């Protein structure tokens, strides 16, 4: 099924309100296998709404309209829908009674203006609003002899729109509804960390061909390069099968660089590995000052494997709390492999955890030197068997450098837990 989302409101086209409804609806549609082909936004203008509905309805199977169902003169969506399907608006007695009831229960008479919210085009179905006074509308529009579009009209208020969609509309637009006979989109996101987008794209080669189905595209966010797979096929079974096959091909191309999919994060994946193996972790952080511990403990149940963390920002703290020899700090500098090894080793011994990660670096903007520019970060990893360290120079500002340092520490521990050499 192909869907178009039409949002209506002056505040949206003027940029005073960000159209979060369309994004939310697209995500819901994708989750049930319905392919969103366009988003449109128009002002509170009946002519504009009518032509947008006509234009969209001829290009999709499901048109989700939101906004403009209020009781005021600038709410014109119901009038526009009625005009497009060439039917008069009729009073829906059931909704009128429900509105009068809810006003009465608040001890107020219903203003005459609200009556319009119970008006539904003849032949259309009223959709119950469990959160507000504007009823929704389900209308059918035939734009040509062989094309019919289902139009669902919802309120613009996000809370009302969401509940109406979930209760009444999702079931009618899902791929299950399309059975094995309708077009379906299924999506999956695979995540990688540590290599740039162009390197990942190169490794994927022909899988990223624009004409390929399922399609594979890359996006980057906060150092995470994600592959977005979209499978558009007839029937959910075929789409699911194809999506799995393309997932396998991506995994063959990128190997263990793919750390997870969809909602998974580096921290959740590392947490699961630790949990599975019954192992624990401690942290010793300098430049990230607790960020690594935060990422690890953002996850519910992390107390099963996260043992404790030290923030040893100053040299004195490193010496006092982790017994890093002052002479060693003096001789090597705090940002060095020797020091992060000492920090990790000491943190692991003191905590009796299976692993300890240590981070020390120069997050900037000041403090860089020719030998150790801003972005220089050393990461130490101690296990029962060995203590190792790696050096990196991360690009970007202070926030980015700290973020990449914490994520890289997680990535290194993941490879250690998998028993494979880090590919960077």
Q: Which residues bind Mg ion (CB under 5 A)?
A: 9, 67, 156
Sole residue written with tokens 């700290």: 402
Q: Which long-range contacts (CB under 8 A, 24 or more apart) does 315-322 make?
A: 318/286, 318/343, 322/284, 322/346, 322/347, 322/350
Q: Would you count residue 7 as binding ligand ATP (CB under 6 A)?
A: yes
CA 94 → CA 120, 215, 238, 288, 362, distances in Å? 11, 47, 43, 60, 67
Could you tell me which stretch among 66-74, 98-106, 108-116, 283-291 binds ligand ATP (CB under 6 A)? Answer: 66-74
In the list ligand ATP, Mg ion, none, the entry touching 158 (Cβ below 5 to 8 angstroms by class) is ligand ATP
Judging by beta carbons within 10 Å of its beta carbon (0-12, 13-18, 19+), is residue 291 exposed, middle or buried? buried
Alpha helices in 133-208 (DSSP H): 158-164, 170-173, 175-178, 197-204
- Binding segment for ligand ATP (CB under 6 A), chosen from 19-27, 220-228, 301-309, 338-346, is 19-27
Q: How far is the CB of 72 from ligand ATP (least distance, A)?
A: 7
Half-sphere exposure of 110 (CA within 13 A, CB side): 20
347 binds ligand ATP (CB under 6 A): no
The interface with ligand ATP within residues 115-154 (CB under 6 A) comprises: 132, 134
- The two three-digit tokens of residue 13, written as one number: 């086209």
The 156-195 contact track toward ligand ATP, x by CB under 6 A, reads xxx-x-----------------------------------
Minimum distance of ligand ATP from residue 41's CB (angstroms)? 8
Question: Which residue in 68, 121, 260, 309 binds ligand ATP (CB under 6 A)?
Answer: 68
Taking the CA atoms of 248, 250, 253 and 256 in sequence, report the sign of the dihedral they define.
negative
70 lies in the binding site for ligand ATP (CB under 6 A): yes
In this structure, are residues 80 and 50 in contact, taking their beta carbons and an 8 Å threshold? yes
Applying CB under 6 A, among 1, 29, 67, 340 the residue interacting with ligand ATP is: 67
Torsion sign across C-alpha atoms 227, 233, 235, 237: negative
Looking at the Cβ atoms of 151 and 324, the one nearer to Mg ion is 151
Partner from ligand ATP, Mg ion, none binding residue 217, C-beta < 5-8 Å depending on class: none
Phi, psi of 188 (to 5 degrees): -150, 145
Rule CB under 6 A: choose which of 35, 50, 75, 168 binds ligand ATP. Answer: 75
**Residues contributing to the site for ligand ATP (CB under 6 A):** 7, 9, 11-12, 17, 19-21, 66-70, 75, 132, 134, 155-158, 160
């Amino acid at each position: 099924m192909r869907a178009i989302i039409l949002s209506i409101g002056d505040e949206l086209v003027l940029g005073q309100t960000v159209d979060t409804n369309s994004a939310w609806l697209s995500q819901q549609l994708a989750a049930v296998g319905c392919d969103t082909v366009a988003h449109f936004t128009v002002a509170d203008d009946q002519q504009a709404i009518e032509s947008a509905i006509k234009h969209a309805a001829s290009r999709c199977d499901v048109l989700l309209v939101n906004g403009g169902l209020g009781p005021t003169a600038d709410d014109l969506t119901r009038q526009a829908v009625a005009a497009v399907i060439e039917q008069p608006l009729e009073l829906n007695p059931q909704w009128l009674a429900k509105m009068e009831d809810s006003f009465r229960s608040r001890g107020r008479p219903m203003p005459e203006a609200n009556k319009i919210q119970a008006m539904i085009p003849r032949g259309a179905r009223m959709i119950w609003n469990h959160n507000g006074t504007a009823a929704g509308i389900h209308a059918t529009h035939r734009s040509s002899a062989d094309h019919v579009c289902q139009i669902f009209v919802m309120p613009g208020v996000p809370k009302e729109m969401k509940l109406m969609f979930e209760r009444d509309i999702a079931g009618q637009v899902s791929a299950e509804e399309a059975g094995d006979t309708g077009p379906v989109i299924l999506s999956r996101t695979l995540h990688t960390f540590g290599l740039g987008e162009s390197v990942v794209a190169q490794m994927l080669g022909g899988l990223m061909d624009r004409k390929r189905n399922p399609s594979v595209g890359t996006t980057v966010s906060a150092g995470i390069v994600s592959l977005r797979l979209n499978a558009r096929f007839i029937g959910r079974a075929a789409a699911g099968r194809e999506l799995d096959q393309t997932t396998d091909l991506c995994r063959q191309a990128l190997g263990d660089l793919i750390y997870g999919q969809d909602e998974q994060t580096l921290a959740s994946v590392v947490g699961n590995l630790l949990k599975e193996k019954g192992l624990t972790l401690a942290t010793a952080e300098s430049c990230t000052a607790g960020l690594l511990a935060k990422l690890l403990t953002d996850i519910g149940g992390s107390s099963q494997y996260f043992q404790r963390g030290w923030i040893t920002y100053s040299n004195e703290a490193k010496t006092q709390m982790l017994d890093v020899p002052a002479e060693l700090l003096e001789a090597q500098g705090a940002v060095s492999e020797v020091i992060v090894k000492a920090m990790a080793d000491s943190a692991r011994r003191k905590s009796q955890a299976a692993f300890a990660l240590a981070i020390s670096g120069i997050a900037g903007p000041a403090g860089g030197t020719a030998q150790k520019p801003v972005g220089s970060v050393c990461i130490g990893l101690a296990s029962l068997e060995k203590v190792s360290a790696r050096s990196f120079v991360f690009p970007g500002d202070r926030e980015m450098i700290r973020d990449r340092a914490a994520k890289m520490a997680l990535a290194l521990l993941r490879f250690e837990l998998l028993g494979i050499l880090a590919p960077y």
